[in-house]
Structure formats: structure tokens, C-alpha cells
Amino acid sequence: MHERVDLGAIRAVLLDMDGTLVDSDASVERAWTTWARERGLPAAPVLAVAHGSPSDHTVRHVLPHLDEEAVAVAAQRQLTLQYDDLSDVVAARGAADLLAALEELELPWAVVTSADRRLAEVRLATAGIAPPLLVTVEDVREGKPAPDGYLQAAAKLGVDPGSCLVVEDSEPGLAAGRAAGMPVAALRGLEGGLLLPDLGHLAHLLRRARVRPWWRDAVGYQVYLPSFADSTGDGWGDLPGVGERLDHLVDLGVDVLWLTPFFRSPMRDHGYDIADHRAVDASFGGDGALDDLLDRAHRRGLRVLGDLVVNHTSDAHPWFVAASSSRDHPLRGHYIWRDPGPDGGPPNNWLSHFGGPAWTFSPATGQYYLHLFRPEQPDLNWRDPALVARIDEIVEYWLARGLDGFRIDTAAYLVKDAELRDNPPLPADRPGQMGGVTDEWLRQDHRHDIHQPDVHAIHERWRRIADRHDAFLVGEVYELDPVALARFVEGERLHSSFWFGLVESAWDAERVDAMLAAAAAASPRLSWVQGNHDRPRAATRFGGGRRGRRRSLALHVLMMALPGTVWLYQGEELGLTDGHVPPGEGTDPLGAAQPGRSRDVARTPMPWRPGPGLGFTAGTPWLPEGGRAEADTVAGQDADPASHLNTVRRLVATRRRLTGLLAAAQEVDRVDLGAGLSAYRRGGLWAVANLRDAPSAEIEPPAPVVFDSDDPAVSPDRPRTGPMRLAPQQALLLAAR
């Protein structure tokens, strides 16, 4: 395990030059190759030790028989070769963004290099970089891996060494930073407290570290564990598989990932039937796999949420096994038990999501127990103080262990009506709001079994625990009225809650537009989501094919301007439609109860690359592959700048660059740009989309266009101005600084 780097505590950034801040690899390699050839040496072993070390150090290593005078001459010859070749010397990828972020954040910085001053100054100048402080090999008694240079830079900046972040791309440089007692960030796939694909990622992490609370305006990603990535070849997704795919999430621009349940379970509902809340199921890799994943994620700057499932447990949970053994058992009160009704049947008319009564008779004690889901998932009794205390301890346990918060399953279901009164039927002409469940369920007004006002007190308890750990709680609250939903996140209740209006909608441009506007006005603390593992995929619900993907993408652009947290469900970045699951090959218990509402279509394996197993597994997947084509895979879309994947990457990257604009304004206003467009303004940021199926009239954008869903050439560095017409489902971000 590595120590977690707290970027919020960083007071200065110290950067190596070659290979870190300046891309000079080609010229360095040419110089050393020429030097090696002059001495009759093979280039490969010389290049293996040259990077990140002073020239004389490399000379001594490869020519140990030379005396010091000869070493100095040989090292000077190598430097002369480097002075004479500055072609291909440019700023490293993301360097401009990082230096801009350091200026925005008023963080002092310095360059600490193993090069001499003449070479460092000319290389930095060639790359267009002027450091406020430059420490070279001439300024120190010992070069890297000794810590002198970094300690000297910290002293000159007047910053405590422990609050300086060292950014390096070589083992000697990382060793120097560690020896100086500084947290280190590593490039080139090396090991450090932070692992960086490029300097732009560090710029984003530094900006995000100043956002309080940290989840504000974050981009989240849902991992449905059984279907994301399988590391063992057994066809079942696991935690090591997620760890192997974290760089995909980093490239996508994700800040926080939510893992569906990983706890010990009989898997009758794929993990949502928990048998031990303190153990990781062996099928997901066990406890060590979770620790490793948390470490790997945190070193990439990713936060990780667990899935808190405490409306019910598995009937295999030791609590239920004990509670069902006797009416007098001390754990009996953890569950809801009642005598049969007057006719000998269930105590009331409540229904299960999976069909039939929500009550199952237990012959051992002569009472019924409640289960709003499967009979194997008995509901917990949240009116039992002992149960409340137990769950508090579970929440504390996982947050102390390293989780950054929870998505709370069925967050509004926990408390039931104290008198267990019957639910009234709904009039035939007034269907229920909730989709994706059995027809029986939809015919009741669920006035007494869910959404009881006492549930807020539970959320407030958890909020106090979470705030002590700087953790995030986002609720699964199936309340489609955004004003009613806002009550779940007001004050000191949940930090956020998913708004499922878009998840429960087919495509109607005007209705979707009006719904989104109402939700945006209801609260700045909602989580914006189009899909999840329980509903058909957004691109399918929105029309399927290219049109469905474009509609979904246009909504993602609008969501990016809204305060709160934006979420992607795995595969949405690929524009996936529902996977094909042949009859008889599904596994969803809800689908068994009502085949037309099977959730399997949203759960087919993540398609990483073409071929058998789709890169998800080397074996036979637990669900059919879904009929995916090469164009549906990450590999199939990766190289195409106009692919859905790369368009989503561009969208998130643009939003990252605009973190300052987002942080400056939490209020969002719907604006009228005419031409039938949907538009929101948040400070200096506009999101504009044509949700209709016809081109818009011509408009004059009120600010430069920095993202265009239809034009990969547009970016914050290459904005576009001037009048334009928006094609159907074309969407833009505009920014005025």
C-alpha cells in the first residue's frame, strides 16, 4: 500500500525537466547514441541508464575504468552533442495546462534538473517555458538520486519540504524526491504516490483538490462489477479486473467510480443480497483485491464509492439465520415479522418488486417476514435501535478502510409505516411513476411501504459519519418529482441523489427539455444520470442506433453545465445500445418474473476489444456478449477522433479545463437563444443543444465555442466564433473568460 497524496496540502510543485516538463527524448537519445558510437559502445545499455542522471554519472556507469579527468572530458563531449541538437525539443504533453493551473492556484513551482544550467536554459526556452526558479546540477553537491536539488528548491521557495510535490519520470528522480521527504508523482508508468499519464492530469487533480466539497462538479462512472472486467477467466467480473482497466477511466476523465456490491453474497441478485457486510466476496477477488484496487485508484487521483445495501440482507446472512430460529432470539428485531392476517395469509397487501406478495411465511416461528424484493432478501427493521447501531458501525468500518463514500441502494425504502397499513390501489387511469418493475407493483399507491418521512433521520446519521471522513453519500431515491427529490438532499441529509427522470424516459424532445429544466431549478445538489444497471440503455430508449447515441450525447453536454455530479454508466462512453440476450439465456430474477422488463440487456459484458470474450474475459461470460460489433468496442473506437468514445473524452476534457468557471458559479439559468435550442448558462459557461430532429435556424453564439459534438477540431485552445446552424442533436459548450 502506498501513502495517499493529499493534493489539497501541496504548497509547491517541483518538476524535473527532460521527459517531464520538456519532451527532449529524441534529441537526448540521438546525443547519447552518437556518443556511444564514437566509443564503440552499443547504444541500448547506455540509454538504459542515461535518462534522469547527470552525464558524468552515466559515463562512470558505462565506462568504469576511466579516471575522473577522462570522465569529465567524456561527459562534456556528450553535453556538447546535446547543445548542438535542439530539434524536436517541445513542451511535454499537458505542460501548458499544468503551468496555467499553477498560476491560477497561485502555487509556486521550480524546475530541478540533472542538466547543467546552459543546457537547461536553452531547452526550457526552446519549449517556451520560463521557470521562476531553476536548480541545476551545478547548484548541488550531489545530483539525483541525492535529495539536494529538491531540498534546495524548497528552501529557496520558503516551503516546507513535506508540502512540495515532486514530479518525475525517472527512478533516480523519484528516489531523490522520496529522500527529500516529499510526496512524488510519477510519469512513464513508474511507481509513485500519484501515477500520471501526463501533466494535464496533474493540472486537473490540483484544480479538483481546491474544489470543496470534492464531489462538487465531479464526473462519476458506474462499474457494474459482474460485467466490467474479468481477471481470472471464469467469466465473472472482479475487482482485479477493474484495477487493470483504471487507466480507461483516467483517459475518460472520471473523478469517482461507484462499484456495485462486492460483499459476500449467495448472488441470487448478483450481489444485492448480502450475507456479510464486512467481507469481500471471493468471486470478486476477496478483501486483498479491494485494498489493492483502492490503492491503485487513489494513486490515479480517483475516488471510489461502495454500494450500501441495507434495506435488506440475504436470507443467508447470519443475522437472518439467527432471527428466524426463534421469536425470542435477540436478533429477531433486526427484521420485520408479523402474524398471519385474519385469513391466514400475508399481514397486508404490500407487494414485491419481483411479483407477488412482499411477505413469506416462516414455518419455524409461525410468522411472515417482509421482503420488498425477493423472498431471499428479507427487509431490515429500521425501527430497531440495535440494527441502526450495527449499520452505523458498518459505514464507519468501510470509510475508515478507504472507501470515499457510498451510493445508497433504495435509500428511501428503509423505514416502513409503523402500523403496516395497506397501500391503496391507484385508479386505472393514473399509472404509477416508477418503471422497470412488475405491473402489479405499478397498480398500487406506495404510500406506506416506501418513502416514509422518518427515513431522513437515518440519512442525517450517516451524513454525520461521512462528514468526519470527508466522504460522499449519493442516494438511489426513486422520486421523479425533482422538488420532492430535493428534500432528500437539503440541509444535512444526503450530499446528493440521482435524479432518474432521464433514466425513466423514452425520447420526446420537448418533454425531456422541460423535465431537465425543472430538475436543474430544483437543487444544485442532484446527480445527473441517463442510465444504470436496472434500466434499458439510454441510446436504446432514445431511439436506438446513431440517432439514439446522438440524443444521449446531446443530453450529456447539457448535463455537464449543471451543478452537482454527472454520471456515466459503463458503456455509455461507447454509445452502447441494449445488448442482445437470447431467450432462455438471461439471469435476471426480475426478468424471470416479467420477461419484458429484464435488466440483462443493460448488463451484458463491457466490450473492450473485438473477438471471443470481447476482452472482458478469456473464458465464457456469465451473460451473453450482447451481439457487439467491432465498432462497439473500446479498441474499435479508440483511434477514430470522431468516435463516440473520443467525443465523450473531448467533452469531459473540455469541462475539466473549465473547472474555474464552474467553481465560480453554482447557479444555473435556462436561457433563450431562439431557434428551438435548449440552453443553460452557468457564469461564463453555456451548454447549448439542438434536441430536435431538424436543423436549427442560424444563431450567433454568445461566447466562443470550445466544444462541438460534431467537430473534433474545436477545443478551448482552438475555439470557434461566428454564426452557425446546429444539426439535429448537435451540442456545444461555450466559454467566456
Cα 539–541–545 angle (5° rounding)?
40
d(CA 323, CA 330): 7
Q: 493 and 588: one domain?
A: yes
Pick the last residue of a domain from 628, 650, 672: 650
Q: Is residue 520 in a domain?
A: yes
Pick the range with the lowest mean pLDDT from 15-29, 66-80, 89-103, 502-516.
66-80
List of residues 6+ apart from 468 with CB closer than 8 A: none
d(CA 79, CA 88): 17
Quick one: pLDDT band at residue 432, thresholds 50, 70, 90?
low
> Is cis: bond before 145, omega within 30 of 0?
yes
Quick one: pLDDT band at residue 314, thresholds 50, 70, 90?
very high
Quick one: pLDDT band at residue 101, thresholds 50, 70, 90?
very high
**Tens digits of per-residue pLDDT, 474-493?**
999 999 999 999 999 999 99
Q: Is the pLDDT of residue 40 over 90?
A: no
Residue 84, Cβ density class (10 Å: 0-12 exposed, 13-18 middle, ≥19 buried): exposed
Are residues 657 and 703 in contact, defined by beta-carbon separation less than 8 angstroms? no
Helix or strand or coil: residue 24?
A: coil
User: So what's the pLDDT on residue 659?
Assistant: 85
Q: 79 and 115: one domain?
A: no
Q: Is residue 322 in a domain?
A: no
Helix or strand or coil: residue 485?
A: helix
Query: For 606, which DSSP code?
Result: P
Pick the last residue of a domain from 209, 235, 250: 209
Grid cell in block for residue 337: 415479522
Are residues 543 and 551 in contact, defined by beta-carbon separation less than 8 angstroms? yes
Q: Is residue 352 in a domain?
A: no
d(CA 417, CA 121): 73
pTM here? 0.93
Higher-confidence residue: 272 or 596?
272
- Average pLDDT for 19-25: 88
Q: Is the pLDDT of residue 503 over 70?
A: yes
Are residues 86 and 126 in contact, defined by beta-carbon separation less than 8 angstroms? yes
Q: Is residue 68 in a domain?
A: yes
User: So what's the pLDDT on residue 134?
Assistant: 98
Question: What is the number of other CB atoms lying within 10 angstroms of the CB of residue 92?
Answer: 24
Quick one: pLDDT band at residue 427, thresholds 50, 70, 90?
confident
> Percentage of the chain surpassing pLDDT 90?
82
Q: Is the pLDDT of residue 436 over 70?
A: no
Question: What is the number of other CB atoms lying within 10 angstroms of the CB of residue 537?
Answer: 25
Q: 625 and 518: one domain?
A: yes
Are residues 309 and 475 in contact, defined by beta-carbon separation less than 8 angstroms? no
Q: 80 and 96: one domain?
A: no
Quick one: pLDDT band at residue 437, thresholds 50, 70, 90?
low
**Tens digits of per-residue pLDDT, 167-183?**
999 999 999 999 999 99
Q: Is the dihedral of CA 152, 158, 163, 169 positive or negative?
A: negative
Q: Is residue 2 in a domain?
A: no
List of residues 6+ apart from 385 with CB closer than 8 A: none
Q: 34 and 176: one domain?
A: no
Strand (E) or helix (H) holding 661: helix 659-664
Among candidates 274, 241, 262, 270, which has minimal Cα distance to 305? Answer: 262
Quick one: pLDDT band at residue 251, thresholds 50, 70, 90?
very high
**CATH number, domain with residue 729:** 2.60.40.1180
User: So what's the pLDDT on residue 429?
Assistant: 67
**Tens digits of per-residue pLDDT, 209-237?**
999 899 999 999 999 999 999 999 999 99
Partners of 258 in the β-ladder: 222, 305
- Give how far the C-alpha of residue 519 lies from the chain's centroid of Cα atoms, to the nearest Å: 23
Helix or strand or coil: residue 37?
A: helix
Q: Is residue 41 in a domain?
A: yes
Pick the last residue of a domain from 84, 103, 135: 84
Q: Is residue 504 in a domain?
A: yes
User: So what's the pLDDT on residue 435?
Assistant: 47
Compute the mean pLDDT over every residue in the chain, rounded to the nearest whole number: 94
Q: 135 and 64: one domain?
A: no
Give the pairing of strands 164-168 and 12-15: parallel
**CATH number, domain with residue 165:** 3.40.50.1000
Q: 237 and 126: one domain?
A: no
User: So what's the pLDDT on residue 430?
Assistant: 62
Pick the range with the lowest mean pLDDT from 34-38, 339-343, 655-659.
34-38
Question: What is the number of other CB atoms lying within 10 angstroms of the CB of residue 406?
Answer: 25
- Average pLDDT for 5-33: 89
User: So what's the pLDDT on residue 46?
Assistant: 80
Radius of gyration in angstroms for the set of CA atoms belonging to the chain, rounded to a whole number: 29
Q: Is the pLDDT of residue 663 over 90?
A: no
Q: Is the pLDDT of residue 89 over 90?
A: no
- Average pLDDT for 364-383: 97
Q: 455 and 593: one domain?
A: yes
Q: 548 and 567: one domain?
A: yes
Among candidates 565, 615, 557, which has minimal Cα distance to 227? Answer: 615
Q: 142 and 233: one domain?
A: no
**Which positions are catalytic?**
409, 476
Among candidates 73, 62, 173, which has minimal Cα distance to 114? Answer: 173
Q: 533 and 417: one domain?
A: yes
Partners of 689 in the β-ladder: 678, 731
- Average pLDDT for 227-249: 98
- Average pLDDT for 142-146: 92
Q: Is the dihedral of CA 275, 278, 284, 287 positive or negative?
A: negative
**CATH number, domain with residue 250:** 3.20.20.80
Q: 65 and 146: one domain?
A: no
- Average pLDDT for 450-478: 97
Q: Is residue 241 in a domain?
A: yes
Give the pairing of strands 109-112 and 134-135: parallel
> Which strands, in side-by-side order, build the sheet including 367-370?
337-338, 367-370, 359-362
Q: What is the extent of the structural domain holding 75?
A: 24-84
d(CA 534, CA 289): 26
Number of domains the chain contains: 4
d(CA 436, CA 434): 7
